[in-house]
Structure 1
Amino acid sequence: MAKYMAEPYKIKVVEPIAMKTPEQLAAAIEEAGYNTFLLKSKDVYIDLLTDSGTTAMSDNQWAGMMIGDEAYAGSNNFYNLEKTVQEIYGFKYVVPTHQGRGAENILSKICIKPGDYVPGNMYFTTTRAHQELAGATFEDVIIDEAHDSQNEHPFKGNIDLNKFQALIDRVGAERIPYICLAVTVNLAGGQPVSIKNMREVKQLAEKHGIKVMFDATRCVENAFFIKEREEGYQDKSIAEILKEMFSYADGATMSGKKDCLVNIGGFLALNDPDLYQKATQLVVLYEGMPSYGGLAGRDMEAMARGIRESVDYYYIKHRIEQIRYLGEKLDAAGVPIVKPIGGHAIFLDARKFLPHIPQDQFPAQMLAAQLYKISGVRSMERGIVSAGRNAVTGDHHYPKLELVRLTIPRRVYTYAHMDVVADAVIELYKKRDTIPGLKMVYEPPVLRFFTARFEPIK
């Protein structure tokens, strides 16, 4: 018997990857200021920086690229994308954008007024940045279990209804334009939200006239966990679960670069015709015509086909099982990871991995840098650097979770690559006591984790 599920695809095209010496790796991470975002792709062996836009597209998607209708308005590919979103997700209106943050920007501008509050199940970096730039204050209303890396709650992405109600009571429903519900929750470790919780959030929001907007970036992964873990859904298809999930939303932002299986693209989906009209006005200003929104026709075609491919059970089952394979190897070796294992990545708990490094010396940032230095494996920090600073006081946000994300691209790497990653992390864990902290030597004013630079503390 195989120890794991074989890939439900065969490899047609290969891309050589870098094999660097230890000296070359050390020089590269130093040149990058100990920030894995600033590494050159040519210097990376196994790239687990992100699953965003790193998907290997199918032959069917590439075939679709050849029938791109590049008309400036009314592209055939737009209507195919619109029909696909309506059929698979159930929304009435679709506004294409160049990627997810384009949709976040438009949603924030059409819904938020200065002084508003936007609750959500843990922040995401670009989402919160757009909300704050529009004048809102983000409020985390996720359940407490989400902040504990070792808690095995099956739906750690759930909204705490008492926290949501408390915010409504404190600031008034009129100052809450919508609640942002992420499926799954990235910074909690790729943790899902239950159908029951989505239904209850919708009921509470509707009672107070508050809209529910999904961050739907990894909705297929969320649907898989519902099928696996939630009573009554074992016999439902992924497509059926998705349709019910989105029935509890008034709209959604989508980065197509994740669960839509493409390298670029996204959209804002809505049910309200008035919001849709406002969105089409702004997409012209920031992105392009409402029928392309910053995308070529061929990219919209690839996304439409990717959405349909993504609901295949064997595709998503393989994806989740490959991630679990890596997580279980690390867990068996005693490496501290976020549990339960989530949908798109394995998250190393840097607090437990490097307990001797205080949080303001950026332990997760250093852990990611050291992993690259010994193996050429690129990961990313999801802790104090990503959390940024308080807009009023200028102090660091100190999140309870200080994590390194090993993000698995879709349909790209094999189980052999997962073995290499596991061996490298385990080797690093054995000599963790020798790893020093970092100091920040350059900090941009917004989304600092992308371009900040660091030096080791000697």
Structure 2
Amino acid sequence: MKRRMAEPYKIKAVEPLTMLTYEERKEALKQAGFNTFLIDSADVYIDLLTDSGTSAMSDRQWGALMVGDEAYAGSKSWKKLEAAVREIYGYKYILPTHQGRGAENILSQLKIKPGDYVPGNMYFTTTRAHQELNGATFVDIIINEAHDSSIELPFKGNVDLQKLSNLIQNVGPERIPYVCVAITVNMAGGQPVSMQNLREVYELCHRYGIDVMFDATRCVENAYFIKEREAGYSNHKIKDILKEMLSYSDGCTMSGKKDCLVNIGGFLAMNDEDLYARSRELVVVYEGMPSYGGMSGRDMEAMAQGIYESIDDHYISHRIEQVRYLGQQLIDADVPIVRPVGGHAVYLDAKQFLPHLQQEEFPAQALAAALYLDSGVRAMERGIISAGRNKETGEHNKPRLELVRLTIPRRVYTNSHMDVVADSVISLFEKRNQISGLRMDYEPPTLRFFNARFSPLSENQELIAAEENVVSTQ
């Protein structure tokens, strides 16, 4: 019998949760324009909107806050963070940023020129936005299986080497400033990339003089999947797998708000001295001095400590298993989700969940709103809304995956919270045909999923037709 795993920590402080009535949730959802990003945190029961900046810090991290050096230049806390990144990730040069998109902005401005192509293993919203704003065209080079939620593969985030090779031949290596490899792949369902694939991508790119830059936001989770699934790594420590993984890149952007276990901060890392020199100049313009880059000394102290805590084998094992705990309950109830379950979230397949809705009726957005209405659980859309519009035709980009992301914050919730989430999702699945689609009433020009507003398509303007069947958490 497989032994069950408890949390590898004990709770030292608690934050009370509020439970609104169904009518209160209904009003909150209406005021938010049926966009879960616009719901007030005080009105949320279990918040699975994102794992970005929502981790619970350890007592050692809270203690580290008290010794933060807030010097404007040459901060001692910066030296600690720099040393931690060099030791654990292996890069030569590091620049702190206020969060991951700060690093994406600097990298895109320095590396991209109009007319370039940036291939990647599926897009991410802010990453692609920075690339396109600087004149590049994003090209998806992930394996085809990643676009099918039902296919079970151990490394569904892998780069298709033939797609990458074809692009290099078609446009020329001089028009590819770098290849962006996400580890893990968020938009594919938190799917990992194998060590072999990372090695092969690096070798192919370097034959043509093309840099490989990682989106390393969830790299520790990727390292865990390699330990678990790839031959030859089962007896390796996570920190050793991580170091080898990152050696197959020329640099990375990092949002410290995920695997670094902090609430704010990030960095841009690289091995090229010339790129580092130019990045230092741009950091001053957009972020701050190279020795703080938009972060306070106390936040750099907490991140340095978090980097060491993140590579603890017991911590990361529990992290992945808690996500699987939720995912397995939904699989057992025949709820359509992305399989296999990824590292940071369970993704509902909204196309299969709500087959009566067309993609232009925004099924993932509607399902995320219905989940909040049903139980006060906040999730987020990752589908046609997140994909935006084609900049040339103005038409909606239509990704094959239309998903709702149930994102699990690190060290925040217990498995009892996961049970509540599972019960709500399963309840909605049983009455899925009653869920209405949405129309978009307000559409921002960029990254529209953050601020767009919607209303139900149903004749009586209800998201769920049978109100009496909606579960109340009161």
Q: For the superposition of Structure 1 and Structure 2, which TM-score range results when normalised by the shorter chain?
A: over 0.9
Map 1:276-425 → 2, pairs under 5 A = 276-425=276-425
For residues 112-140 of structure 1, the C-alpha deviation after alignment (integer angstroms, 9 at most, x for no partner) is 00110000000000000000001100000
Map 1:104-119 → 2, pairs under 5 A = 104-119=104-119
Stretches of structure 1 that go unaligned for 5 or more consecutive residues are none
- Deviation, 1:436, is 1.1
Letter matched to residue 178 of structure 2: Y
For residues 44-84 of structure 1, the C-alpha deviation after alignment (integer angstroms, 9 at most, x for no partner) is 00000000000000000000000000000000011111111
Q: TM-score scaled to structure 1, two decimals?
A: 0.99
Q: Which moved more, 1:443-452 or 1:3-12?
A: 3-12
For residues 392-448 of structure 1, the C-alpha deviation after alignment (integer angstroms, 9 at most, x for no partner) is 111100000000000000000001000000000000000000111110000000000
Secondary structure in 2 matching 1:394: coil
CA contact (8 A) 1:4 1:325 kept: no
- Deviation, 1:332, is 0.3
Aligned counterpart, 2:212: 212
- Structure 2 distance, partners of 1:366, 1:10, is 37
2:417 is equivalent to residue 435 of structure 1: no
- Deviation, 1:372, is 0.2
- Structure 2 distance, partners of 1:323, 1:289, is 38
Aligned counterpart, 1:250: 250
Map 1:152-191 → 2, pairs under 5 A = 152-191=152-191
Cα distance change on mapping 1:167 and 1:356 into 2, 3 Å: same
CA contact (8 A) 1:78 1:300 kept: yes
Letter matched to residue 155 of structure 1: F
2:130 is equivalent to residue 130 of structure 1: yes
Aligned counterpart, 1:199: 199
- Structure 1 distance, partners of 2:134, 2:290, is 22
For residues 199-232 of structure 1, the C-alpha deviation after alignment (integer angstroms, 9 at most, x for no partner) is 0000000001100000000000000000000000
For residues 226-264 of structure 1, the C-alpha deviation after alignment (integer angstroms, 9 at most, x for no partner) is 000000000110000000001100000000000000000
Aligned counterpart, 2:466: none
Letter matched to residue 163 of structure 2: K
Moved beyond 2 Å, runs of 4+:
1-4
Letter matched to residue 72 of structure 1: Y
Map 1:24-39 → 2, pairs under 5 A = 24-39=24-39
Letter matched to residue 413 of structure 1: Y
Secondary structure in 2 matching 1:186: coil
Secondary structure in 1 matching 2:150: coil
Q: TM-score scaled to structure 2, two decimals?
A: 0.96
- Deviation, 1:4, is 3.1
- Structure 2 distance, partners of 1:222, 1:310, is 12
- Structure 1 distance, partners of 2:81, 2:19, is 40
Aligned counterpart, 2:465: none
For residues 320-374 of structure 1, the C-alpha deviation after alignment (integer angstroms, 9 at most, x for no partner) is 0011010000010010000000000000000000000000010000000000001
Secondary structure in 2 matching 1:187: coil
Letter matched to residue 407 of structure 2: T
- Structure 1 distance, partners of 2:246, 2:52, is 22
Aligned counterpart, 1:446: 446
Percent identity, please: 70
Stretches of structure 2 that go unaligned for 5 or more consecutive residues are 459-474
Letter matched to residue 402 of structure 2: E
- Deviation, 1:3, is 6.5
Number of equivalent positions: 458
RMSD: 0.7
CA contact (8 A) 1:4 1:321 kept: no
Letter matched to residue 54 of structure 1: T
Letter matched to residue 370 of structure 2: Q
- Deviation, 1:18, is 1.1
